[in-house]
Amino acid sequence: MDRIHILATGTSRGIGAAIAARLDRPDVRFVGHSSRPGDDARIPADLDEPGAAAALWNEVLERLDGRIDVLVNNAGIFEAAPIDLPDADWLAAWERTMRINLTASAELCRLAVRHFATRPGGGRIVNVASRAAYRGDSPAHWHYAASKAGMVAMTKSIARGHAKDGVLAFAVCPGFTMTGMAEDYLESRGGDKLLADIPLGRVAMPDEVAETVRWLALDAPASATGAVIDINGASYVR
């Protein structure tokens, strides 16, 4: 059987690196990505730049001999924009987060849907959103929550609109996920108060998110299309 061709964004570190490790298997041809040039395993593209998403897609398509079966949109930023910033700075922060987290993902989804629809086997999209899509985020992260809510709504629209073409679309909503050094990570997100709010008593590990992405990318039944899976230790149950 042909190997499954997968493009995942933001695989240089954190959750994306765990996804790359999970998908490093003989039945998959995997191409990763990061914002800047690194090693050969990742194609660089700064998704804040106009045209970068399309250039990335085309380069990956070429590297994978003209076929991509699964797109994983994982790249994202979590940058603060306090509401007392000067107007222009607040707006610039809003637009940067939207461009990287939502618009670039949308451009890649559109290219994927059009590509998948030309093939009998269709294809899969897995979008890494966030608990913030449902729960909201801090006063300095309206843009982040809005970008992730947009991603969830986009995923559902793709699932509903393109199932007939064999396109399956899923979203994953992680809560706090330990992507840096444990102490620094917890401190930056609120320390013990954060843990008190998670019934499981700990934040998620990148590999827990990665395993969910792997399952959605390779094994989830077609009827699950449109599903959004929470990975947050029951800190937000909906």
Ligand X SMILES: NC(=O)c1ccc[n+]([C@@H]2O[C@H](COP(=O)([O-])OP(=O)(O)OC[C@H]3O[C@@H](n4cnc5c(N)ncnc54)[C@H](OP(=O)(O)O)[C@@H]3O)[C@@H](O)[C@H]2O)c1
Catalytic (active-site) positions: 144
177 touching ligand X, by CB under 6 A:
yes
225 touching ligand X, by CB under 6 A:
no
Contacting ligand X within 61-120 (CB under 6 A): 74-78, 100
* Shortest separation between residue 29's beta carbon and ligand X, angstroms: 20
Is the sign of the CA dihedral 135, 159, 108, 172 positive or negative?
Answer: positive
- From the list 79-87, 176-184, 212-220, 222-230, the region that binds ligand X by CB under 6 A is 176-184
24 DSSP β-pair partners: none
34 touching ligand X, by CB under 6 A:
yes
Q: Is 101 left (phi over 0), alpha (psi -120 to 50) or beta?
A: alpha
**Which is closer to ligand X, CB of 68 or CB of 104?**
104
**Which is closer to ligand X, CB of 165 or CB of 211?**
211
**Which is closer to ligand X, CB of 71 or CB of 122?**
71
16 touching ligand X, by CB under 6 A:
yes
Candidate residues 14, 123, 150, 233; the one interacting with ligand X per rule CB under 6 A: 14
| b (16+ CB within 10 A) / e for 57-96 | bebbbeebeeebbbbbbbbbbbeebeeeeeeeebeebbee
Contact 122, 168 (CB under 8 A): yes
Contact 70, 84 (CB under 8 A): no
Neighbours of 135 (CB within 10 A): 15
Candidate residues 24, 27, 46, 89; the one interacting with ligand X per rule CB under 6 A: 46
212 touching ligand X, by CB under 6 A:
no
- From the list 34-42, 83-91, 159-167, 214-222, the region that binds ligand X by CB under 6 A is 34-42
Q: How many residues bind ligand X (CB under 6 A)?
A: 25
Neighbours of 195 (CB within 10 A): 17
What is the residue-wise DSSP string for 121-159? T-EEEEEE--THHHH---TT-HHHHHHHHHHHHHHHHHH
- From the list 9-17, 62-70, 116-124, 192-200, the region that binds ligand X by CB under 6 A is 9-17
* Shortest separation between residue 13's beta carbon and ligand X, angstroms: 4
Q: Which residues contact 225 (CB under 8 A, 6 or more apart)?
A: 159, 163, 168, 169, 170
Residues that bind ligand X (CB under 6 A): 10-16, 34-36, 46-48, 74-78, 100, 128, 130, 174, 176-177, 179
